[in-house]
Amino acid sequence: MVFVRHALPGEVVLARLTGGTAESASYWRADAVEVLEPSPDRVSPPCPLARPGGCGGCDWQHASPAAQRRLKAAVVTEQLARLAGLWAGEGPGHDLPPVVVEALPADAASGGPSGDTGLGWRTRVRFTVDGAGRPGFHPHRSHDVVPVEHCPIADPRVDALGVGRARWRGTASVDVAAPADGDPLVVAAGQDSRAVRPPRLAGSASIAVRDAEGTGDLTRVHGRTWVSERVLVDGVPRSFRVTGAGFWQVHPGAAQALLDAVLAAADPRPGERALDLYSGVGLFAAGLAARVGPDGTVVAVESDRRAAADARRSLHDLPQVRFAPGRVGAVLPGLADGAGGADVVVLDPPRSGAGREVVEAIARLAPRVVVYVACDPAALARDVATAAAHGYRLTALRAFDAFPMTHHVECVATLTP
């Protein structure tokens, strides 16, 4: 088997092998250097660096947006079939509807994409800085840096700052966040924060410096060390504080779409007990709290201290939200022993997934519904298989194109006993 980057299904291409070429290897890697018979889904990449040997960030710029979503749906289906046994045979899951990857709504007010172009959507960008102080991105499967002055998928407010056109002495990386409210935030990091000298930027932004090798604490240079993001919780605006380069969905429409999908799948009811695992700054905890009401309880579990502190600040007006700092795998057993289970569990783990230990602990809580937000279909499929072995079946799945021009996809899976 050969995985060919920059090609599309059905094409005839001239490909160059790029790795894993030992005869004993289970697969090889290659790059399409010439297209002999193109697919009807092929388009001209809008970025000149989306080519063999160029930037490794966008791997599907050569496919139309509609084709990208069809390919992502095929990937999600294949992973769940191969690793979780779904859509196969006569067992549970064979009757699930076909996976459809939904496009996220454009959000021009916050710099989102205009129409179905797949451009201008990325509100959070991390640049790696080379030895000459030039920001850029890594090529595919490489630690080299390709200097990038302009990124077509970045939010226009990111490009307006001129981060890629400046020189960053003593800097290892630069994070830029263009939030829903207020100026962008730029966070420069280096092995020695005292050596980082942020340059003058073309636009207005808050600037902070962090020590890449130390505690990661931020030093304010100008403005604030945090940004404010906003969603509607059952129609009511709510703001969330996100410090530094902390996690928030990068597509301007993703946080709202995922919150709405999670609440629709979980259907939290007044007085229920809900868990928000890997809760971050509290996006799903806020929605759950609104639904369970003052007589219910939401327990938010998060290991990152800055994210947990931001969540406490953003949700201080919701007394039904309780915070349990720490790793999910370490905190869950105590929740099961001390409170007698949960009605609803929502989890949004990192790309590696929740893992067997966490999934088994969730099953022991015996919730009536589990809603799993996943950014990696393979990790989701492995955890769905573990859940099935402990009595929980995948009953619904939604997928969202939260990362246009790339192979990444966001899923919301519903598991019930």
**Catalytic site positions:** 375
Residue identified by tokens 């990038």 is: 148
The Cα 149–Cα 162 span in angstroms is 7
The Cα 196–Cα 129 span in angstroms is 12
The Cα 101–Cα 56 span in angstroms is 23
Task: Let me know the angle formed at the C-alpha of 67 by 62 and 73, rounded to the nearest 5 degrees.
Answer: 125
| Measured torsion, CA atoms of residues 291, 294, 297, 299, in degrees rounded to the nearest 10 | 80
Q: Which of 62, 8, 84, 58 lies closest to 374 in space, CA to CA? A: 84
State both tokens at 390. 């402990």
The Cα 255–Cα 224 span in angstroms is 22
Q: What is the DSSP string of 326-372?
A: S-HHHHHHHHHHHH---SEEEE---TT---HHHHHHHHHH--SEEEE
For the chain, the first-to-last Cα distance in angstroms comes to 38
The Cα 145–Cα 70 span in angstroms is 31
Q: Which of 133, 125, 116, 149 lies closest to 49 in space, CA to CA? A: 149
The Cα 86–Cα 98 span in angstroms is 11
DSSP assignment, residue 87?
Answer: T
**Do 124 and 178 form a contact (C-beta atoms < 8 A)?**
yes
Q: What is the distance of C-alpha 283 from the center of its chain?
A: 14
